[in-house]
Structure 1
Amino acid sequence: MSRKGQAQATGTRSTNADDYQCVPRALAAMPKDFAPGSEILPHRHERAQLIHATAGTMRVATDDSVWVVPPQRALWMPAGVTHSIAMLGEVRMRTLYLRNDAAAFMPRECRVLPVSGLLRELIVRATELPLHYDEAGPAGHVVALILAELSGLQSLPLQLPMPRDARLRAICQALLETPGDARPLEAWAGTANLSTRTLARQFQSQTGLSFGAWRQQARVLEAMGRLGSGEPVTRVALELGYESVSAFSAMFRRAAGTAPSRYRSRPSIGDKPFVA
Structure 2
Amino acid sequence: MSPNSQTALTRADRALTTPRPLVALSAEYAPATRIPAHRHHKHQLLYAVRGVMTVTAEAGRWVVPPQFAVWVPAGMTHTVLAHGALSMRTLWVAPDVSRRLPRLCGVHLVTPLMRELVLRAMELPRLYNEKGADGRLVAVLLDELAALSPAPLHLPWPRDPRAQRVARALQRRPANARTLAEWARSVGGGERTLARLFARETGLSFGAWRRRMRLLHAVERLGAGVSVTAVSLDCGYESASAFIGAFRRELGVSPARFAASGWGDRRPRQADEGGVRPLAASSA
Whether TM exceeds 0.5 here: the answer is yes
In the alignment, is residue 109 of structure 1 matched against residue 104 of structure 2? Answer: yes
Q: How far apart are the structure 2 equivalents of 1:35 and 1:104?
A: 36
In the alignment, is residue 49 of structure 1 matched against residue 18 of structure 2? Answer: no
Q: How far is 1:114 from its partner?
A: 0.7
Aligned residue among 221, 226, 237 for 2:216: 221
Task: Indicate conservation of the 8 Å contact 1:7/1:34, yes or no.
Answer: no
Trace 1:1-276 onto structure 2 (pairs within 5 A): 5-8=1-4, 15-185=10-180, 188-189=183-184, 192=187, 194=189, 198-227=193-222, 232-266=227-261
Q: How far is 1:226 from its partner?
A: 4.3
Q: 1:79 to 1:257 in 2, by over 3 A?
A: same
Q: How far apart are the structure 2 equivalents of 1:251 and 1:262?
A: 14
- The SS at the match of 2:70 is strand
The CA deviation string for residues 113-172 of structure 1, in whole angstroms up to 9 with x for no partner, is 111344334323433432212334554344334223323332224332111123432432
Q: Which runs of 5+ in 2 are unaligned?
A: 263-284
Q: How far is 1:96 from its partner?
A: 0.6
Q: How far apart are the structure 1 equivalents of 2:9 and 2:2?
A: 16
How many equivalent pairs are there? 263
Identity in percent: 45
Q: How far apart are the structure 1 equivalents of 2:98 and 2:88?
A: 20
- The SS at the match of 1:155 is coil
Task: Indicate conservation of the 8 Å contact 2:157/2:202, yes or no.
Answer: yes
Task: Indicate conservation of the 8 Å contact 1:48/1:97, yes or no.
Answer: yes
Which is further off, 14-23 or 194-203?
A: 194-203
Q: 1:205 to 1:141 in 2, by over 3 A?
A: closer
- The SS at the match of 1:150 is helix
Q: How far is 1:87 from its partner?
A: 2.3
Task: Indicate conservation of the 8 Å contact 1:48/1:103, yes or no.
Answer: no
- The SS at the match of 2:211 is helix
Which is further off, 133-142 or 244-253?
A: 133-142
Q: How far is 1:31 from its partner?
A: 2.2
Task: Indicate conservation of the 8 Å contact 1:55/1:229, yes or no.
Answer: no
Which is further off, 131-140 or 227-236?
A: 227-236
Q: 1:169 to 1:266 in 2, by over 3 A?
A: same
Which is further off, 220-229 or 88-97?
A: 220-229
The CA deviation string for residues 204-238 of structure 1, in whole angstroms up to 9 with x for no partner, is 44323333321111112233344466654334323
Task: Indicate conservation of the 8 Å contact 2:162/2:189, yes or no.
Answer: no
- The SS at the match of 2:166 is helix
Q: 1:151 to 1:196 in 2, by over 3 A?
A: closer
Q: Which runs of 5+ in 1 are unaligned?
A: 268-276
Q: How far is 1:199 from its partner?
A: 3.9
User: TM-score under structure 1 normalisation?
Assistant: 0.78
Q: How far is 1:263 from its partner?
A: 3.5
Q: 1:265 to 1:136 in 2, by over 3 A?
A: farther
Give RMSD over aligned pairs.
3.2
Q: How far apart are the structure 1 equivalents of 2:10 and 2:159?
A: 33
Where relative contact order (Cα < 8 A, 6+ residues apart) is larger, the structure is: 2
The CA deviation string for residues 153-209 of structure 1, in whole angstroms up to 9 with x for no partner, is 322243321111234324323433443344444665566455656544433443233
User: TM-score under structure 2 normalisation?
Assistant: 0.76
Which is further off, 223-232 or 77-86?
A: 223-232
Q: How far apart are the structure 1 equivalents of 2:33 and 2:225?
A: 20
Q: How far apart are the structure 1 equivalents of 2:225 and 2:100?
A: 33
Kindly provide the amino acid, as one letter, of the partner of residue 4 in structure 2. Answer: Q
Question: Which residue in the other structure is 2:266 paired with?
Answer: none
Which is further off, 179-188 or 107-116?
A: 179-188
